[in-house]
Amino acid sequence: MKRTVLNLEPIPPYNFNLTAAYATYFHQTYAAEMYQDGVFHRLLDVGNNLYLARVRSLGTVDSPSLEVEIIGANLDNTNITKAQQQIAWILGIDQHLSSFYRMAQDDPILTPFVKALRGLHVPHTPSIYEALVLAILGQQISSHVARMLRTLLIETYGPALEISGTIYHSFPRATDLAATGIAGLRAVKFSTRKAQYVIDISNGVISGQLDLEGLRTWSDEEVVRMLTSIRGVGLWTAHWLFIRALGRTDGFPHADLALCRTLSRLLNTAIPLTPAATLKHSHHWSPFRSYVTVYLFAAMRSGLIC
DNA sequence: GGCCAGGTTCGCT
DNA sequence: AGCGAACATGGC
C-alpha cells in the first residue's frame, strides 16, 4: 500500500465545506461519499485499481487550496494523474461561478441563496454510468429511502478496500451489476422494473453498444435524445445527469416534485406550481439552471428552506 | 392501513 | 396527446 500527497487549486470562490457537504447530501456518510471532521473521502476506481482519496482544505473560499492524499496499491504516475483528475472532477473545482452570480444578483429569489451558499461548486459523479444508475434508483421514492437503497447497493456490490480498519466501497462496475442479474438487484430492494432497466444499461455498457462516456462531446439536445431513448430514462433523469454527471450548466429537472414545491414556496404561490409552470419560470435562469437547481437543493437539504 | 415520496412506462381514450 | 395505473419500499 503506497500513499502520495498532492495539491489542487480550485477556481475561487470555492467553499470546500459546502461542496463536500453537498456531495454527501449534508450527511456524514452518503453511500460511497464520506465527509467527516473536515475530510472528504471517496474510493476511486481508476482502471480497475482502487485508491482512497482523502481531501481537506488548506485555504479559504477566496484563496482556495486542497490537499489530496491518495492511498492504494499499484500507485504509479499514470494512475496518480488519473486519480487526481477524477477527484478534481468529483469536487467540481474547475467551475467559474461569476457569470451565474452576476445573473443571480438581479433576481430577488436567488439573491439570499447565492449569498448564503457562496462558493458552492457542483460535485459530480466520476462516471455517467454511476449517475444513471443512481438516478433510476432514486426515481419516485423519497430521498430517505433512496439513501438506504444506495448504501445497500454499494455495500453489497461495490468494489471494497480496507484502509486502517475501515472498509471503503466504490460504486459497482457495470460488470458487477450485470453479473448479479435482476434477482441480485431485487435482493437489494430494487423493483423488478428498475432492476431490468439497470441490467439492460449495464449490458449495453459492457458490450460497447451504449457509449455513455461518449456523451461528453455531444450537444445538450443530442444527449437528451439519446438518454431518453433508453428504457427507464425520461426527461427528469436526463437533466439530472446534465447536473450530476456531465457538468453542463443548464440542466433543469422541471418535473421534480421537490423542485416544484420549493419554487412554489419561494414564489408564494397559492397552489403548488405544475411542472409546466416551473419550467416556464426557469427560462430566465438559462444558461445557468444547473446552478440554480443545485443551490435550491442545497438550501433545502441544509435547512435554509424547510 | 392508507397515502405519499426528488419518475417512467404502458395501456387506455 | 393526454390521463391513470402499476411499480417496491419506508415513514408518517
- With b for 16 or more beta-carbon neighbours within 10 A and e for fewer, the A143-177 pattern comes to eeebbebbbbbbeebbbebebeeeebbbbbbbebb
- pLDDT of res. A92: 98
Per the listing, cell 431485487 goes with: A186
- pLDDT of res. A75: 95
Is A1 in contact with A72 (CB distance < 8 Å)? yes
C-alpha dist (Å) from residue A245 to A4, A21, A213, A236, A280: 27, 17, 10, 14, 24
pTM of the model: 0.97
- pLDDT of res. A263: 94
Phi, psi of A51 (to 5 degrees): -130, 135
Strands A160-163 and A66-72: unpaired
Please give the Cα distance from A148 to A166 (Å, whole number): 20
- pLDDT of res. A271: 83
Nucleotides of B under 7 A from a protein CB: 4-10
- pLDDT of res. A277: 93
- pLDDT of res. A270: 81
Please give the Cα distance from A256 to A297 (Å, whole number): 11
Q: Mean pLDDT, consecutive 10-residue segments, chain A of 306 residues?
A: 97 98 96 97 96 98 98 96 98 98 96 97 98 96 94 97 96 97 96 96 97 98 96 96 98 95 91 91 96 96 86
> For residue A41, what are the β-bridge partners?
A34, A54
Which protein residues have their Cβ less than 7 angstroms from some atom of strand B? A 25, 138-143, 145, 193, 228, 230-238, 240, 255-258, 261, 297, 301
Which protein residues have their Cβ less than 7 angstroms from some atom of strand C? A 140-142, 144-145, 148, 186, 189, 191-193
- How many Å apart are A190 CA and C7 C1'? 10
Please give the Cα distance from A77 to A4 (Å, whole number): 10
- How many Å apart are A205 CA and B11 C1'? 30
Nearest residue by alpha-carbon distance to C1' of B5: A142
- How many Å apart are A83 CA and C4 C1'? 48
User: Residue A287: is the preceding peptide bond cis (ω within 30°)?
Assistant: yes
- pLDDT of res. A275: 93
